[in-house]
Amino acid sequence: MTTHTPVMVREVVAALDVRPGGRYVDCTVGAGGHALAIMDEAAPGGSLLGIDRDAAALAEARSTLERYGDDVLLEQGDFADVDRICREADFAPVHGVLLDLGLSSLQLDEAERGFSFQREGPLDMRFDREQQLTAEQIVNEYKVEDLADVLHRYGEEPQARRIARRIVERRPLRTTTELAKVVEEAVGGRARRQSHPATRTFQALRIAVNQELLSLETALPLAYGLLGDLGRLAVLSYHSLEDRLVKNFIRRESRDCLCPPRQPVCTCGHTAVLRPVVRGAQRPSAGEVERNPRSRSARLRVAERLPAAAG
Ligand SMILES: C[S@@+](CC[C@H](N)C(=O)[O-])C[C@H]1O[C@@H](n2cnc3c(N)ncnc32)[C@H](O)[C@@H]1O
């Protein structure tokens, strides 16, 4: 059976400065690997609230974290609602919040979920299987220009228009492997490429189906708002679109004034509420990438809530 190997797990526990008795939120609990490492370090007396959109992931997390009983709370939901979920559970302020973005190996490896171009499956790609919108609808129903826009915006696909036109010509498409073949036809084979030609198309569709960037943009200020004095926010991202959002958020919230540089007097009144804990992004070690190739694109960014800003 597939398992999900948590990425940069030691670095994440250190980034969150996990201490016995601490209270933590894992916004993307998945199979519970990071959550378990956090709880092991937070014992005795630690607690954790884990969120995931995917009911199957939560079932897995429940079994991983069983030994911690009532000290672990698990909730199905979108991390864009992290503030409401935590306040309803009376779980704030907290010492740390983790977001480990994207999808897990459990989701990628299950053909039925439709995330992988290497496995024949339906064009689904929903984290939350109760949600209406699927990849099949985007692929078969969007106008060519809207489809090209999705591929360009969320996949940074240089050949977005060409791929979108070919998809529209070949409709209806029902499976992941049909779609992967059509993309390959549109942009040529794998020669001289580092990754499969459908990689960016699949990434783009997954982001669009789950509105991933919108959820992340909404969640970052809410997550920071849950932190107590010197609480830590740690975010693991796996592609440049996510990482840019996180980087810009931390950069902005670490500055005292956001006025244009040439303006002589500050009129915005913005004050810094965060401090980056490490400069830039941490990357997995060469050894980890070798052991777990899926960690290779990971970037970890960490910030601490400044005491004066805690309310
Ligand atoms: C990379 S996996 C997390 C793996 C986890 N850290 C572990 O150690 O097992 C990302 C998880 O986030 C979930 N997810 C993605 N977007 C979400 C969102 N907006 N709200 C809640 N969960 C989300 C996915 O369903 C997936 O289970």
Gap from CA of 172 to ligand 1 centroid (Å)? 30
Ligand 1, atom 9: closest residue by C-alpha: 31
Contact 35, 72 (CB under 8 A): yes
- 6 CB less than 6 Å from ligand 1? yes
- pLDDT at residue 192, as a whole number: 61
Q: Measured between alpha carbons, how far is 187 from 162 in angstroms, rounded to an integer?
A: 8
Per-residue pLDDT of the chain (311 residues; tens, 9 = 90+): 568 899 999 999 999 999 999 999 999 999 999 999 999 999 999 999 999 999 999 999 999 999 999 999 999 999 999 999 999 999 999 999 999 999 999 999 999 999 999 999 999 999 999 999 999 999 999 999 999 999 999 999 999 999 999 999 999 999 999 999 999 999 986 666 678 899 999 999 999 999 999 999 999 999 999 999 999 999 999 999 999 999 999 999 999 999 998 898 999 999 999 999 988 999 999 999 999 999 999 999 999 999 964 44
Gap from CA of 83 to ligand 1 centroid (Å)? 17
pTM of the model: 0.96
Contact 303, 278 (CB under 8 A): no
Contact 96, 234 (CB under 8 A): yes
- 79 CB less than 6 Å from ligand 1? yes
* Number of the ligand 1 atom closest to the C-alpha atom of 26: 6
Q: Measured between alpha carbons, how far is 64 from 60 in angstroms, rounded to an integer?
A: 6
- 253 CB less than 6 Å from ligand 1? no
Gap from CA of 238 to ligand 1 centroid (Å)? 12
Estimate to the nearest angstrom the gap between the alpha carbon of 31 and the chain centroid: 14
Q: At what angle do helices 212-226 and 199-210 cross, to 10 degrees?
A: 60
Q: Measured between alpha carbons, how far is 239 from 26 in angstroms, rounded to an integer?
A: 20
Q: Pick from 207, 247, 203, 234: which is nearest to 303 by CA? A: 234
Buried b (16+ CB within 10 A) or exposed e, 149-179: bbbbebbebebbbebbbbbbeeeebebbbeb
| Neighbouring residues of 267: CB distance < 8 A, sequence distance ≥ 6 | 259
Specify the 3-state DSSP secondary structure of 171: coil
Ligand 1, atom 4: closest residue by C-alpha: 30
Phi, psi of 15 (to 5 degrees): -60, -40
